[in-house]
Amino acid sequence: MNTNKHVDWEQVRREEWPILDTMTFLDAACVSFAPQRIVNAIKDFADFSARQDEENSSAHHIAMDSKRDKAYREAQKLLNADSEEIALVESTSHGLNIAANAVPLEDGDNIITTNLEFIQVALPWCAIRNEKNIEIRVAKTKDHRFYARDFEALCDEHTKLIVLSSVEWCNGWKMDLKEIGEMCKSRGIFLVVDAVQQLGVSKMDTKEFHVDILTAGGHKWLNSPYGTGVLYINKESMPKLRPVYYGYLNTKVPEGGWGAYWENPAAPSVNNWEYEMTARKFEIGGTSNYPGAIALGESLALVNELGVNNIESHIYDLSTYCMDQIEAIGGTLITHRDPDHRSGIVIARLYEDLETDRSILKELHVRSIFIAQRFTDYVGGFRVSCQYFNNKEDIDRMISTMKKLIEQVGHKPDYKRPW
């Protein structure tokens, strides 16, 4: 993996996440902690919101809107996207709902997803089935790896859309979006991607792979738990999509700006509003979550400052070490070791008896060692998140405690993968 500079990861950890001195936190795939730069930016905005720095209230409102700009710029940089392709949303769920309502579907159409998705990925289309006669086809493989051929095998002339996670939440499999995107583009199929388990810790260059819509909330690997995420919409796909919201801030800015428009005696309440052909027209287009956007801008800037290639390399080393240590104590990996399909998520099982694993998880939490347990369609286990603020000592503490708990169980780990 190419890196572009030396990063002192321990310094980043000390300065941005002092809370990590009080616990062993390996659960960024659930919800992460905000770095100190975000905390400081939110405090600054709280102070700003309690005073009047501008010449009037209208200017104050416009100034608040402008504080979202950093999030757009940093998201554009991270995704190597064009400025008109980036919008801000409340969450991954929000972005997926926009996708579900924007992509035109007709009776008889089908969409394809996988059997390992987080429930939100397919949920909007499940709801659409109550209104339209569409079919949801589910790709499932024996070893829980997914390739373009697995989706293509389910495609026909009525396939309108494929929706999937770039990294599966319950086994850590990272999709080859280039391969899948090329297949979708060649067949005229929309590709919608939930990138919440990848954006910010692994390179995602939208100039290197085709995707129509990509979305990711900020609260996991982007370390911004303030209710704002990223929505990318391919500019070539935009004309094919239906608007979802109609907000005044999505329209073309009137001559002189909104301040002048509001003071114009002739301003009509009913008008033939025009919308720019940008991703922002899919936003709600009204007063927004300013703290969330400010926080997201800071978190994205931190990723860009550190370099996503550096982050990915560091996480790759940590996850490899984690997998090695889990196997050394007799654990069984659910996550595949394929180098090109690895992520920060490591999934493993210890015991065939699930209640035994659950008791171990509970004891880890009592000792302030935080990992999760996640399953979909009988695939999953302990989920360890190897984030860039983690280090090998975090993993060592987890493993050392697991060894003691295994001794208390009284027999060696006995789970065996069924594939």
Pair type for strands 345-349 and 379-385: antiparallel
CA distance 146 to 143: 9
Element (H, E) at 295: helix 290-306
Residue 402 neighbours by CB under 8 Å, 6+ apart: 329, 331, 350, 360, 364
Report whether 343 contacts 167 (CB < 8 A). yes
How would you write the pLDDT of the chain (419 residues) with one tens digit per residue? Answer: 445 679 999 999 999 999 999 999 999 999 999 999 999 999 999 999 999 999 999 899 999 999 999 999 999 999 999 999 999 999 999 999 999 999 999 999 999 999 999 999 999 999 999 999 999 999 999 999 999 999 999 999 999 999 999 999 999 999 999 999 999 999 999 999 999 999 999 999 999 999 999 999 999 999 999 999 999 999 999 999 999 999 998 999 899 988 889 899 999 989 999 998 999 999 999 999 999 999 999 999 999 999 999 999 999 999 999 999 999 999 999 999 999 999 999 999 999 999 999 999 999 999 999 999 999 999 999 999 999 999 999 999 999 999 999 999 999 999 999 98
Strand-pair partners of 382: 348, 373
List alpha helices for 2-155, DSSP H.
9-16, 36-49, 57-66, 69-79, 92-102, 119-128, 148-152
Residue 152 neighbours by CB under 8 Å, 6+ apart: 183, 187
φ, ψ of residue 299 to 5 degrees: the values are: -70, -40
Report whether 277 contacts 84 (CB < 8 A). yes
Q: Quick one: which of 144, 151, 98, 145 has its CA closest to 120?
A: 98
Instruction: For tokens 């927004």, name the residue.
Output: 288
Q: Quick one: which of 319, 349, 342, 358 has its CA closest to 417?
A: 349
CA distance 183 to 149: 9
Q: Which amino acid is at 47?
A: D
Ordered DSSP codes for 151-214 = HHTT--TTEEEEEEESB-TTT-PBP-HHHHHHHHHHHT-EEEEE-TTTBTTB---TTTS--SEE
Element (H, E) at 392: helix 392-409
φ, ψ of residue 360 to 5 degrees: the values are: -65, -45
Residue 175 neighbours by CB under 8 Å, 6+ apart: 146, 164, 165, 166, 167, 168, 341
CA distance 164 to 85: 20
Say how many C-beta atoms besides its own lie within 10 A of residue 362's C-beta.
12
Helix/strand/coil for 42 = helix
275 DSSP assignment: B
pLDDT at 3: 53
Domains in the chain (CATH in brackets) are 9-30+307-409 (3.90.1150.10), 41-303 (3.40.640.10)
415 DSSP assignment: -
Report whether 175 contacts 165 (CB < 8 A). yes
Q: Which amino acid is at 83?
A: S
Q: Which amino acid is at 21?
A: D
CA distance 317 to 330: 20
